[in-house]
Structure 1
Amino acid sequence: MIRSCLTAALAAILLAATIAASPAAARTGAKPTIVLVHGAFADASGFGAVTGRLQDRGYTVIAPANPLRGPASDAAYIASVLKTISGPIVLVAHSYGGAVTTEAATQVGNVKALVYLNALAMDEGESNVEITQRFPNQFADALVPRPFPGGTDLYVDTTKFRALFAPDIPARTAALMATAQRPVVLAAIQEKATAPAWKTIPSWYLIGRQDEVISPEAQRFMAKRARAHTVEINSSHVSFLSHPAAVTKLILEAAQSVRH
């Protein structure tokens, strides 16, 4: 009798430990995994405030490093991450990251919603350069080329970084971002997109009305073409940093639309 009670108690403890060690989303099956993909001149750490808000609501969040070497190769890398995730995914992208997620989502079957934050939602045959030329602004003049063996990386001039990239965040934060920015290779913004996932996957789009990197007009054009659920806010290019509550709200709308 004592032995059977001890055995039952041990089994209960082991079961409880297994449940505690399992991700909440995997235990309940109630929420999709949210994957956040950063763009050029930034990294995944910028999603910190958004990530915390999503985790507080019980979501599993993954923010992989975007290689920034070209939409096709970057999409293959992000897709390899997505393939390790069971269950539905909400795939979120900022800026150049949109060019990557638009391709990556076509390579897996469980991306159920796309969210674009001031992001590129290109059509087949388009490039970043072509969108910029169609909706021109002054950002291209702030890019600094730095050749390396086999290519050329692009950085944002540190003296212009805050004014163009992130005017609505604290100056010290913008200065740190400027010095630690991750470059995108020139070939990446020239590379043409393949068939886009937004043609078959529901999309959401956040437009920053004060964006000096991807013009608001370009964002409206891409959002309308993708038939995205769209919101506009008074934000610079870094909406995920300056307006994390609004960004989180849009991601939650997309996540809550996913059927389990």
Structure 2
Amino acid sequence: MNKLIAGIAVAAAALLGSRQAFAQPAKPTIVLVHGAFADSSSWNGVIEILEKDGYPVIAAADPLRGVRSDADYISSILSSIASPIVLVGHSYGGSVISLAASGHANVKALVYVSAFAPDAGETAAGLSGKFPGSTLGSALAPPVMLPGDGADLYVQRDRFHEQFAADVPAAQARLMAAEQRPIAQAALNEASGEPAWRTIPCWFVYGDADRNIPPQALAFMAQRARSRHTVVVKGASHVVMVSHPAPVAALIERAATAQ
């Protein structure tokens, strides 16, 4: 009887081992970093798709205070994740992920969503003005002065829809305008450091009707960073992840499964 029980145990262990050998590896964690004048809820449509497809997702709250300090904050989140990571940034969030990924061997891919991908020494403001087409400057409200030194920037409420989210329903754009998070004025003029896109594979997606970052600038940055695959969504605004979550999620998943 003891031999029979031992034999069953060995067989069960062998069967379990064979199942584990053919088990699918855990999917990477997707870390989403929003940009200026937005918050983590801007990823809601993308998150729904990713989670339905089995991906663990973290939508980080970007402080929007400065490129280096924001990158350090996001880096601390990355340090808490043991699994492989796909790091995704929107708009100014692209500047943040370009620094935050450095030193994290488990970051396997960077995805830029209507996002800056600055080289060392470049600024978000400088890249926006590198090519014609951005109308953000005239749509900004007067700076809100902060105690001590510095100022916060917002998009004018009555200009938010046309400037930031032209292809989003008006009612939704009104909510986004009310919920917008300000960015420190200095952050848009802070020079970036050595970018992680030089060593980590990257992917790009943006709309050809972006009024914040000129599409020509986005194309330039994608080409310079040797984007593995670039998706241009026809008619999409700066918040392509809000108006067209499906192609954004599809590109993230493409990056997640790339070899």
Corresponding residue SS for 2:60:
coil
Task: Identify the match of residue 145 of structure 2 among 128, 144, 147.
Answer: 147
**In 2, Cα distance between equivalents of 1:125 and 1:191:** 8
The residue number in structure 2 matching 1:226 is 225
Query: Which among 83, 108, 113 is matched to residue 109 of structure 2?
Result: 113
Residue 89 in 1 paired to residue 85 in 2? yes
Task: State the secondary structure of the residue aligned to 1:156.
Answer: coil
Q: What CA distance in whole angstroms lies between the structure 2 residues aligned with 1:200 and 1:242?
A: 31
Q: What is the aligned partner in structure 2 of residue 14 from structure 1?
A: none
Matched, 1:178 2:174: no
Give the whole-Å Cα distance in 2 for the aligned partners of 1:241 and 1:37: 14
- Number of aligned pairs? 232
Shift of 1:28: 6.0
Q: Which runs of 5+ in 1 are unaligned?
A: 1-26
The aligned runs of 1:208-247 (5 Å cut-off) are: 208-228=207-227, 229-234=229-234, 235-247=236-248
Return the alpha-carbon distance in structure 1 between the equivalents of residues 172 and 139 of structure 2.
19
User: Over residues 86-117 of structure 1, what are the superposed CA-to-partner deviations in whole Å (9 max), with x where a residue is unaligned?
Assistant: 12100011000000000000132211000000
Work out the CA distance in 1 between the residues paired with 2:190 and 2:83: 31
CA distance, structure 2, for counterparts of residue 252 and residue 231 of structure 1: 13
CA distance in 1 between counterparts of 2:87 and 2:28 reads 10
Could you tell me which residue of structure 1 aligns to residue 15 of structure 2? none
**SS state of the match for residue 242, structure 2?**
helix
Q: 2:163 & 2:140 partners in 1: Cα distance?
A: 11
Q: Secondary structure at the match of 2:118?
A: coil
Higher deviation after alignment, 131-140 or 234-243: 131-140
- Residues 203 and 251 in structure 2, CA contact (< 8 A), matched pair in contact too: yes
Q: Which amino acid aligns with 1:177?
A: M
Give CA-to-partner distance per residue, 1:10-33, whole Å, 9 cap, x none.
xxxxxxxxxxxxxxxxx9642110
- The corresponding residue for 1:70 is 66
Equivalent AA in structure 1 for residue 75 of structure 2: A
Q: Is the 8 A contact 2:139 2:156 kept in 1?
A: yes
The one-letter code matched in structure 1 to 2:96 is V
Give runs of ≥4 in structure 1 deviating > 2 Å.
Answer: 27-30
Q: TM-score, normalised by structure 2?
A: 0.87
Unaligned runs of 5+ in 2: 1-22
Question: 2: distance between equivalents of 1:217 and 1:85?
Answer: 35
* Sequence identity percentage: 52
Alignment-mate amino acid for residue 247 of structure 2 = A
Q: Would you say the 8 A contact 2:128–2:212 is kept in 1?
A: no
TM-score, with length taken from structure 1: 0.87
How far 1:207 moved relative to its partner? 2.1
What is the identity, as a one-letter code, of the residue corresponding to 1:239?
A: V
Q: Which residue of 1 aligns with 2:9?
A: none
**Aligned-pair RMSD on alpha carbons?**
1.2
Q: Match of 1:161?
A: 160
Letter in 2 for 1:244: P
Distance 1:73 1:176 in 2: 28
1:60 to 56, 62, 66: 56
Q: Report the Cα distance in structure 2 between the residues aligned to 1:196 and 1:218, rounded to whole angstroms.
A: 17
